Amino acid sequence: MASQFGTKVKVSIFGESHGAAIGVLVDGLPAGEAIDMDELSRFMARRAPGLGTHTTPRRDGDAVRVLAGLTGGVTNGAPFAAMIENTNTRSADYHGLMDTPRPGHADYTAYVKYGGHNDISGGGHFSGRLTAPLCIAGGITLQILARRGIRIGAHIASIHGVCDAPLDFVSPNMDALARAASRPLATLSEEAGEQMLAEIEKARAALDSVGGVIECAATGLPVGLGAPMADGVENRIAAAVFGIPAVRGIEFGAGFAAAGMTGSEHNDPFVMEDGHVRTAANRHGGVLGGITSGMPLIFRAAFKPTPSIAQEQDTVSLVEGKAAKLAVHGRHDPCIVTRAVPCVEAAAAITILDLLEEGV
């Protein structure tokens, strides 16, 4: 197991859902960067549960405690470490009870991989709660990037087929994305957000769940980040984004739609703008040959519907080796996409700072 990513800026995530604490270690942050903890809290709040009826009512506070890496609130060049204490810790007798793995979850694969020693309480290290430390790393990274003129924003592009207003790939409205972040659902169109909420409520009423797509844009990137072949921008963004539980696909620029286009439709002509080379359209999503083109970086990630649903499902008893029924108790988000928006921004931010620190 290696819950680590990054080349120069390395992020390592630890913790279990009901363990003592969850946290993150970030190695390789530039020194001399002031971190605004209030701004971090506001960023963290965007993924926190309990903000609306469409998310789980459990509240953890998600109070971030910095352990290392800051001196007087400024990065000191040493590894940054922070944690969130778990107030809702496991009961000892919980362990070992898992017999009927939840469909769509890692219960079964983790059981086999770790020989039954994995912490199953609340999903253990596989819990969506582990995206909180990802957001700590992402939140401080976003502050550092902002000082370098780089902005990152994401919105919910669709939930269960209900689509948000489209994002302009050439000049994404980053202010609009920032405003979207403060809405109940991070959509450009408030109306689309309301329709998505209705979709989520419908799923909840049916003891079911829904999936969706998150679209992310990053502006202000220099030309020349990344590398051809295996170390390209897409490879590295993908490697980070697939670290968010429930992601099933990722695409850049026109993405899968490019497969249905002709070259003359898909190629973005180069143009001169104020002495700079730009492209007239941005179907390439800001990356050509694995290297940033200076156009906005655009990608989308597909999230599956929450696998924990209250409906009775078919599974097996691992102990008895035969079919069994399972009804997942507790309250779960009928749609994790709503809370995953800052996670996607975090994964993008960390990877972009990593690329920046490597240099053009």
Binders in 30-59 for its own copies, by CB under 8 A: 31-32
89 contributes a contact to its own copies by CB under 8 A: no
Residue with tokens 């592009």, as numbered in its chain: 157
- From residue 144, alpha-carbon distances to 46, 63, 137, 227, 274 in Å are 19, 21, 11, 23, 27
81 contributes a contact to its own copies by CB under 8 A: yes
SS (H, E, C) 71-104: ECCEECCCCEEEEEECCCCCCHHHCCCCCCCCCC
Q: Which of 205, 321, 329, 330 binds its own copies (CB under 8 A)?
A: 321
- Residues 95-134 touching its own copies, rule: CB under 8 A, are 95, 101, 103-106, 108-110, 112-115, 117-119, 121, 124-126, 130
Compute how many other C-beta atoms are within 10 angstroms of the C-beta atom of residue 67. Answer: 14
Instruction: Point out which span in 49-57, 147-155, 174-182, 250-258 binds its own copies (CB under 8 A).
Output: 250-258
3-state secondary structure of 161: coil
Instruction: Point out which span in 56-64, 146-154, 170-178, 202-210 binds its own copies (CB under 8 A).
Output: 202-210
Tokens of 73: 């609130």
306 contributes a contact to its own copies by CB under 8 A: yes
Residue 204 class from Cβ within 10 Å (0-12 exposed, 13-18 middle, 19+ buried)? buried
Judge whether 164 and 187 are in contact, CB under 8 Å.
Answer: yes
Instruction: Write down the least CB distance from residue 249 to its own copies, Å.
Output: 3
- Residues 139-178 touching its own copies, rule: CB under 8 A, are 158-161
Q: Which of 213, 221, 297, 341 binds its own copies (CB under 8 A)?
A: 213
Residue 357 class from Cβ within 10 Å (0-12 exposed, 13-18 middle, 19+ buried)? middle
Residue among 173 and 281 whose Cβ is closer to its own copies = 281
Residue with tokens 């499902």, as numbered in its chain: 313
68 contributes a contact to its own copies by CB under 8 A: yes
- Write phi, then psi, for 323 (nearest 5 degrees): -60, 150
Instruction: Write down the least CB distance from residue 92 to its own copies, Å.
Output: 7
Residue among 85 and 179 whose Cβ is closer to its own copies = 85
Q: Which of 215, 252, 338, 341 binds its own copies (CB under 8 A)?
A: 252
Instruction: Write down the least CB distance from residue 175 to its own copies, Å.
Output: 26
d(CA 109, CA 327): 19
